[in-house]
């Protein structure tokens, strides 16, 4: 199971428009996850997500509460963006809990809690960046328990829904003349020294996913590919993507890096990749991407001959 994809909640898509149903979900047994400037509330010095009770947050303005779903006990789980609330007001509510980027803990966070926290972060980011109607410029208001916004202009009333940007990410392989299969990995200049990862890029309008894979590899590394095959996907709301993982076979092996896209790209054997360190390691040696990413998953699948 990929990180951030083990969602345990029933999103209640067919019921969350019902105000009475939603109000019932905001019971004393409901759980609340606070988000502050895209950071999630964790217990102090711990990768455990900190949920608050309805009683703890009842005096806050809950009109912009975001319904995330119902848990196994059918209790509501909500997110609330508290970015506009002063720290002095938040302090007695959260106690010694602290706000952190989910990715700071990454794989240390329980899989299901990480998925819930990622959903909360993604929804909060979308609302914060869609305050106004994209059609007429009027103010938008939150509706459908946070899963839509509606233009307040009575002559427009245009609905807007949370956006997810599709991005393809791919391991490109080729068997060279020496009979050894290699994979193509690249790096951006801003990354930690020595870190290489799968190539990736956003899907263009009017383009299939397979076409996006071929285009991105060609643009970034100058390599032509074929036999593009889907492997897995991962929600990546940092801020608003869905990562679609593929493996592809290279038709050419000559690399021609576009420096506007990548700092470098190289072919690596399995033996070479197996010697890589991890993101965050000190030193200039080669490093694999973060453990909670689909890039790491795809590389490890190739390493173990599973794709």
State yes or no: pLDDT of 15 exceeds 90: yes
Strands 140-143, 159-160: parallel, antiparallel or unpaired by DSSP? unpaired
The whole-angstrom separation of Cα 238 and Cα 244 is 15
| pLDDT greater than 90 at residue 92 | yes
CA atoms of 272 and 216, how far apart (whole Å): 24
State mean pLDDT over 209-232. Answer: 98
For residue 306, is pLDDT > 90?
no
Dihedral over Cα of 139, 66, 94, 60: its sign: positive
Q: Where are the domains of the chain?
A: 19-130, 165-304
- pLDDT higher than threshold 90 for residue 1: no
- Report pLDDT for 222: 97
Closest CA to 220 of 204, 199, 241, 205: 199
Collect all residues with Cβ–Cβ distance below 8 Å to 96 and sequence separation of at least 6. 44
Strand 225-236 with 241-250, pairing: antiparallel
* Whole-angstrom distance, CA of residue 225 vs CA of residue 291: 26
Q: Which residues contact 58 (CB under 8 A, 6 or more apart)?
A: none
Q: What percent of the chain has pLDDT over 70?
A: 100
Which tens digit of pLDDT belongs to each residue from 105-119?
999 999 999 999 999
CA distances from 199 to 135, 187, 193, 203, 244 (A): 35, 8, 17, 13, 12
User: Cα separation of 71 and 96, whole Å?
Assistant: 26
User: What dotted CATH number matches 165-304?
Assistant: 3.90.79.10
Q: Rounded to whole angstroms, what are the CA distances from 102 to 36, 50, 80, 230, 254?
A: 12, 12, 16, 27, 38
């Amino acid at each position: 199971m990929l990180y951030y994809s083990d969602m345990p909640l029933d999103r209640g898509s067919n019921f969350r428009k019902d105000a009475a149903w939603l109000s019932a979900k905001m019971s004393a047994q409901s759980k609340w996850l606070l988000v502050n400037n895209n950071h999630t509330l964790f217990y102090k010095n711990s990768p455990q997500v900190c949920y608050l009770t309805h009683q703890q947050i009842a005096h806050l303005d809950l009109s912009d509460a975001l319904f995330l779903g119902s848990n196994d006990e059918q209790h509501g789980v909500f997110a609330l963006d508290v970015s506009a609330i002063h720290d002095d007001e938040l302090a007695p509510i959260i106690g010694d809990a602290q706000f952190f980027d989910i990715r700071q803990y990454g794989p240390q966070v329980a899989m299901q809690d990480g998925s819930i926290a990622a959903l909360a972060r993604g929804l909060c980011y979308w609302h914060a960046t869609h305050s106004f109607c994209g059609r007429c410029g009027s103010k938008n208001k939150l509706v459908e328990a946070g899963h839509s916004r509606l233009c307040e202009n009575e002559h427009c009333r245009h609905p807007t829904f949370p956006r997810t940007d599709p991005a393809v990410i791919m391991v490109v392989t080729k068997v060279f003349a020496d009979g050894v299969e290699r994979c193509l990995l690249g790096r951006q200049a801003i990354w930690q020294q020595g870190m290489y990862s799968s190539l990736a890029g956003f899907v263009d309008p009017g383009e299939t996913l397979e076409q996006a894979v071929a285009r991105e590899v060609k643009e970034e590394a100058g390599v032509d590919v074929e036999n593009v095959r889907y492997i897995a996907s991962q929600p990546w709301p940092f801020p608003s993507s869905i990562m679609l993982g593929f493996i592809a076979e290279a038709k050419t092996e000559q690399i021609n890096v576009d420096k506007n896209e990548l700092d470098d790209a190289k072919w690596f054997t399995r033996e070479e990749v197996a010697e890589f360190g991890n993101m965050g390691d000190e030193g200039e040696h080669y490093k694999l991407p973060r453990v909670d990413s689909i890039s790491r998953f795809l590389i490890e699948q190739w390493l173990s001959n599973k794709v």
